[in-house]
Amino acid sequence: MSQNTPYKTFLPEDRIPRQWYNLRADMPELPEPLLNPGTGKPMTLQELEGVFCTELAKQELDDTSRYIDIPEPIQQFYRMYRPSPLVRAYHLERKLGTPAKIYYKYEGGNTSGSHKLNSAVPQAYYAKAQGLTSLTTETGAGQWGTALAMAAGFFEIDLTVYMVKVSYEQKPQRKGVMETFAANVIASPSDTTNVGRGILAKYPDTGGSLGCAISEAVEKAVSTPGCRYVLGSVLNQVLLHQSVIGLEAKAALDMLGEYPDIVIGCTGGGSNLGGLICAYMGDKLTGKGDAHFIAAEPASCPSFTRGVYAYDFCDTGCITPLAKMYTLGSGFIPAPNHAGGLRFHGMSPILSKLYHDGYMEARAYEQTNVFEAARMFARCEGTLPAPESSHAIRAAIDEALKCKETGEAKTILFGLSGTGYFDVMAYDRFNNGLMDDYIPTDAELQQSFDTLPKVPR
């Protein structure tokens, strides 16, 4: 194996971004604004402040500041676990026999195990700086809840996490970690909110969904003094914070003299993908580069590839603002056999707009196919990938195999957004041949689309 470029590239600590990059400032057409479901009018700062803390509400609405300074206490926290490594997947390349050069940006090396910490830190910091006393959130697979528990623990602010019941039962380890960082973890749906009680009355055996956990967390936040709700994906502010991934990746690839032909990220609500692609997408939007972008999503929750571009609620209980996004309908719940995250019914409005305008491709993968890629990657590269990230691995392998056929030596960058250490049960199911695929039928999706809200004018 000839290694002209190092296996791992770490930026020096002083090259960790000091500003976030706001992709909206370079978009020729902006994503549609969040709407107040009651009036049909764009959400104002004042309205958003009732749910989010003020600084984050401002970031949500800021379509023009290209760069936003990262406050020093957040930079200090970032230095505890960033920069994350950019890795050249030499062993995978050799195994595939491809002329392609494969790089991945690994965000799973912190205790929370994923990229989610990049947004958890600012969200907890701004809440504390505003004098709030508590936060609520939802978590699906547990990565976001764990990340926020770490950040809330560090900035000493109380946190209640509504964890999707199926994950709560399948991943007791996650709960243990969150509680160690002093979070209060509740299985959702629960009897602690009106929404939760309503859902339990209707579907007593439900394993829950992210949309339902969001409803409970929002209800709790707006009914508790000094409390706000924080969300780990989808929102503009979250993609802004995640821009550190893409900025670091570009700085490291620049150091190596590389520019990717293809950038691939897995996507649930879009924060990892939005963060990873931001710098190269910015280049594309401003005519400085022409990378090809691929969003990799699960076939069991195919928001981009089979969803509709429409205004929808971000939660099952229909209490959040309306977002214009690719959505499967807020009542959509992925089949219970679906492993890992990427189970949100909608997609970031920024990414939805970019996809709608033709700047990005999306592909949906069945989970057994994804786990085959994960296993190959683990054996070659010595890192157990998160099932979510493995959707991107699948796409990267497929692209590298295409290069093998055509003889092209393309440069591929993908996001390894997390570790698979908390997903051993899913690996166990896969290894024992117990994992299967479920793809929703058109009729099932239509049933969900039929419940899309009518937007008042």
Ligand X SMILES: Cc1ncc(COP(=O)(O)O)c(C=O)c1O
Out of 83, 122, 260, 268, the only residue in the binding site for ligand X (CB under 6 A) is: 268
CB-CB contact of 135 with 230 (8 Å): yes
Q: Does 272 bind ligand X (CB under 6 A)?
A: yes
Dig out the tokens for 185 from the structure.
């973890």
Name the residue nearer to ligand X (CB basis): 329 or 341.
341
The smaller minimum CB distance to ligand X, of residues 141 and 218, is found at 141
CB of 41 to ligand X, least distance (A): 27
Nearer to ligand X, 116 or 128 (CB): 116
For ligand X, give the closer residue by CB, 74 or 273. Answer: 273
The sign of the CA dihedral 294, 391, 89, 85 is positive
114, 190, 237, 330: residue in contact with ligand X (rule CB under 6 A): 114
Residue 270 interacts with ligand X (CB under 6 A): yes or no: yes
DSSP state of 352: H
Asked if 229 contacts 127 with a C-beta cutoff of 8 angstroms, the reply is no
Under rule CB under 6 A, residue 140 binds ligand X: yes
Q: Which of 237, 243, 316, 417 lies at the binding interface for ligand X (CB under 6 A)?
A: 417
CA quadruple 107, 113, 116, 117: dihedral, nearest 10: -90
Report the distance separating Cα 72 and Cα 78, nearest Å. Answer: 10
Q: Long-range CB contacts (< 8 A, 24+ apart) of 285-289?
A: 285/23, 285/26, 285/27, 285/28, 285/359, 286/26, 289/259
Taking CB under 6 A as the binding criterion, the range among 138-146, 217-225, 399-407, 449-457 that sits at the site for ligand X is: 138-146
Q: Which of residues 208-247 bind ligand X (CB under 6 A)?
A: 233
Min dist CB 40 to ligand X, Å, is 27
Which of 269, 302, 321, 334 is in the footprint of ligand X by CB under 6 A? 269
For residue 276, the minimal CB distance to ligand X (Å) is 9
In the complex, the smallest distance separating the C-beta of residue 437 from ligand X, rounded to whole angstroms, is: 19
Sole residue written with tokens 């926020």: 148
Task: Please say which residue, 282 or 418, places its beta carbon nearer to ligand X.
Answer: 418
Nearest to 117 by CA among 82, 168, 156, 85: 82
Q: How far is CA 260 from CA 209, 252, 412, in A?
A: 36, 12, 6
The CA distance from 174 to 180, in Å, is 10
Restricting to residues 143-162, which ones interact with ligand X according to CB under 6 A? 143-144
Assess 302 for contact with ligand X (CB under 6 A). Answer: no
- Is residue 266 close enough to count as binding ligand X by CB under 6 A? yes
State the nearest-atom distance from the C-beta of 385 to ligand X, in Å. 8
Evaluate whether 227 touches 157 at the Cβ level (below 8 Å): no
Closest to ligand X by CB, 392 vs 403, is: 392
Q: How many residues bind ligand X (CB under 6 A)?
A: 20
Smallest distance from ligand X to CB 194, Å: 26
- CA nearest neighbour of 20 among 121, 136, 148: 121
- What is the smallest separation between the CB atom of 388 and ligand X, expressed in angstroms? 4
Of residues 336, 306, 328, the one with CA closest to residue 437: 336
Question: Does the footprint of ligand X cover residue 420 (CB under 6 A)?
Answer: no
What is the crossing angle of helices 243-255 and 271-285, to 10°? Answer: 60
98 binds ligand X (CB under 6 A): no
To the nearest 10°, report the CA torsion of 45, 49, 54, 55: -60
Binding mask 370-409 for ligand X (x = CB under 6 A): ----------------x-xx--------------------
Query: Cα-flanking dihedrals φ and ψ of residue 85, to 5°?
Result: -75, 145
All residues at 6 or more sequence positions from 446 whose CB lies less than 8 Å from its CB, including other chains: none
For residues 310 to 349, the per-residue mask of contacts with ligand X, x marking binding by CB under 6 A and - elsewhere, is -------------------------------xx-------
- Name the residue nearer to ligand X (CB basis): 57 or 273: 273
Which amino acid belongs to residue 343?
A: R
Binding site for ligand X (CB under 6 A): 114, 140-141, 143-144, 233, 266-272, 341-342, 386, 388-389, 417-418
